[in-house]
Copies of this chain bind each other. A is one copy, B any other.
C-alpha cells in the first residue's frame, strides 16, 4: 500500500518545490525528511517578493502547505 510520504521517498536527491503557509516558494534538492515533514534542501532558493539564494536549508514541517517534485 502506498503512503503520502512516498512522494518524498522517491524524490530524494531530486529538485522539489515547497509552498509555505507564509506564501513563499522554496526550491532545492531534497536531501532528507522525517515523519513531521521537516525538510532538508541543498542548493535552495526562495522566491518571495524577490529571489534569495539560501544554499542548505531546514524547513519546519508545520510551516508547509504542499511539496511537489519539479517536472
Q: Is the CB of A60 within 8 A of B65?
A: yes
Q: How many angstroms between the C-alpha atoms of A20 and B34 in the bound complex?
A: 21
26 contacting pairs across A/B (C-beta < 8 A): A2-B31, A2-B32, A2-B40, A3-B34, A4-B32, A4-B38, A4-B39, A4-B58, A5-B34, A7-B58, A20-B66, A21-B21, A21-B63, A22-B65, A24-B65, A37-B58, A37-B60, A55-B68, A56-B69, A57-B68, A59-B65, A60-B61, A60-B62, A60-B65, A60-B66, A63-B64
- Between A8, A39, A54, A66, the greatest number of chain B beta carbons within 10 A of the residue's beta carbon is seen for A66
Interface size class of A (residues with CB under 8 A): 35 or more
